[in-house]
Amino acid sequence: MSKISRRDFLILAATASISLGLRSSKSASQFLSSTGDRKPGIIVLLFDAMSARHLSLYGYSRHTTPNLERFARRATVFHSHYATGSFTTPGTSSILAGIYPWRHRAINQGGLIKRALVKQNIFSLIGDQYYRAGFAENLWADLFLRQFQSDIENHIPPTSFKRESKTINPFLGFVGAPDAAMIYYSYNQFFLTGDGLDPEQMPGSPVFGYLDHLQIYRNKELDQASANYPFGMPYNNFYYFAVPEILSAVADRIEHLTQGSTPLFGYFHLWSPHEPFRPRSQFVDMFPEISILDKPHHPLSKNHPKPGDYAPVIKQYDEYIADVDDGFGKLLDQLTRAGVLDNNYLVVTSDHGQLFERGEVGHGTPLLYDSVIHVPLMISAPGADVRHDIYSPTSAVDLLPTLLHIADQPIPPGLDGQLLPGFGGQEDVARNIFSMDAKFDSAFRPFKEATISMIKGNMKLIYYLGYQGYSDRVELYNLQEDVDELRDLRKRQADVASQMKNELLLALDAANKNL
């Protein structure tokens, strides 16, 4: 039998003690009190990895989102809204901080916002006149809630809405504890066998690696096909869950938190429809076949699937979106019946999309085509019953200043975001909208290997920096005339490409100088 090292013992002891002594959250009933006229509350509902390109709400050929379309009848719908990155860390942090990744530096997988900017977060800026609650089913997003926990009255642990305790990894008890982010990294390093990033990764500790394997083995039946889940139950790399169960519990929590006289600011970050794509049986085979464009492989693609490999995974993704949309519809019905939407703003968005083209399947990619960065955004005002549509480009960094404006709170100087049209801002087709991927660069040094996209009006430039054999390259597309980004205009419109590249490099240089 192998010995437990002193280092392993200290980590195990710390985790065990934290599981028994979580940081307590102030209950809503303790916080909510009579304060005179009540401001409208604000609820942000984020569906992870939901690409706008796969939503019938935005014209997709498969009818994936009848309930989002129903919600849209009472909302402002943004048709050209962009995430700031191709995966959760940069995409979520820019929503919560109102600045681009090259400034807040949460650029690595599981990275954090730099210390000097931690207080520039939506929970802090919106103030304690709101009851602030945060939930993230994605543990990378939950890292930001841990960073901001001094500004959150109710940090809801990721496993709170699970009702089947046997499916919960028992080592998740550190959530909400002091130095929880540090313990999360220790947990990943010592307990897990890959964290979903590298299945071949060996655990740092044989003892805790064994315990993790044992837990996976105990829950193995949940990964197998069943009558209700033909592809196995949905899984977020830490526990299995049922989409209807999660969304029903979120609706219950929102309804409860909005009952007091103090308004709620609630951020709810759902895992679905993030992969693995595991729809319930009633959604499998519900859509007709569609034609898939065979786009050329990109030199930086990693997966290299064959053309015929895309259709099955796209079909499964679309079915999973339909499953999630069904759950959203039930949540919407419950909040409507309870009168929640009569005095609360509801924001529906995503942190990034998915890419199924050019040799890539998934996200976290250096290929910043629209499928992975074009995301949904809808905002309903209290009591609204009319739809409005905005077509000018907007960015995830616009949410923070807009929500502060809605809350009648001061907007700090230096944000990258603008007020969204329809909520205090004007349509601005001349502004630059940036997205980036630099996950393998240092968060503390100038960028050496990165992809940056810039949208100005209908034009989109993609710039590649530092990749071996593919550096200082650009691509240029007209998104209005070429929605599939197949006709690279960098040579035919060299003057436009040159001007946009210069603007991009000036912005990048400024970011590198202000580390």
Burial of 276 (C-beta count, 10 Å sphere; 0-12/13-18/19+): middle
At residue 513, the pLDDT reads 87
* Of the candidates 219, 249, 254, 247, the residue with the CA atom closest to the CA atom of residue 233: 219
Query: Contact 437/88 with Cβ under 8 angstroms?
Result: no
pLDDT at 221: 65
The closest alpha carbon to 397, from 422, 365, 433, 373, belongs to: 433
Structure tokens at 349: 């968005």
**Which of 9, 51, 1, 84 lies closest to 317 in space, CA to CA?**
51
How many CB atoms neighbour CB 492 within 10 A?
Answer: 10
Give 185-194's long-range contacts (Cβ < 8 A, gap of 24+).
Answer: 185/110, 186/11, 186/14, 186/15, 187/11, 187/15, 188/110, 190/8, 190/11
Q: Do the Cβ atoms of 254 and 172 come closer than 8 Å?
A: no
Q: Which amino acid is at 27?
A: S
φ, ψ of residue 217 to 5 degrees: the values are -65, -40
Q: What's the average pLDDT block by block, 10 residues per block, for the chain (515 residues)? A: 38 38 39 56 98 98 98 98 98 98 95 95 97 96 95 93 55 50 55 48 56 58 85 88 95 95 96 97 96 92 81 97 98 97 97 95 96 98 96 98 97 96 94 97 95 97 96 97 97 98 96 86
Q: Which conformational region is residue 298 in: left (phi greater than 0), alpha (psi within -120 to 50 degrees), or beta?
A: beta
Q: Rounded to an integer, what is the distance from CA 45 to the centroid of its chain?
A: 10
Q: How far apart are CA 272 and CA 284, in angstroms?
A: 16
* Rounded distance between C-alpha atoms, residue 75 and residue 83, angstroms: 20
DSSP 200: T
- Cα-Cα-Cα-Cα dihedral sign, residues 356, 362, 368, 371: positive
Tokens of 64: 């994936």
Domains of the chain, each with CATH number or no CATH: 6-425 (3.40.720.10), 445-515 (3.30.1120.10)
Quick one: pLDDT at residue 172?
A: 53
Confirm if 261 and 39 have CB atoms less than 8 A apart.
no
Q: What letter does residue 189 receive in the DSSP assignment?
A: H
Q: How many DSSP H helices and E strands does the chain contain?
A: 14, 16
* Contact by Cβ (8 Å): 364, 109: yes
Distance CA 113, CA 118 (A): 6
- Residues in Cβ contact with 191 at an 8 Å cutoff, skipping those fewer than 6 apart: 171, 203, 205, 208, 209, 211, 212
Residue 464 phi, psi (nearest 5): -110, 125
Instruction: Give the pLDDT score at 514.
Output: 81
What pLDDT does 214 receive? 56
One-letter amino acid for residue 482 of the chain: D
Q: What is the pTM of this model?
A: 0.88
Cα–Cα distance measured from residue 75 to residue 73, given in angstroms and rounded to the nearest whole number: 6
**3-class DSSP string for 124-179:** HHHCCCCEEEEEECCHHHHHHHHHCHHHCCEEECCCCCCCCHHHCCCCCCCCCCCC
Which amino acid is residue 138, in one-letter code? N
Let me know: does 58 contact 376? Beta carbons within 8 Å. yes
User: Which residues partner with 467 through β-bridges?
Assistant: 470
**Please, what's the b/e burial string for 152-184 (b: 16 or more CB within 10 A of its CB; e: otherwise)?**
bbbbbbbbebbeeeebbbebbbbbbbeebbebb
Q: Which two tokens stand for residue 327?
A: 């759950």
HSE at residue 345, side-chain half, CA atoms within 13 A, is 23
Rounded distance between C-alpha atoms, residue 95 and residue 111, angstroms? 15
Q: What are phi and psi of 272, to 5 degrees?
A: -75, 145
Handedness of CA 238, 239, 240, 241 (dihedral sign): negative
Cα-to-chain-centroid distance, residue 372: 11
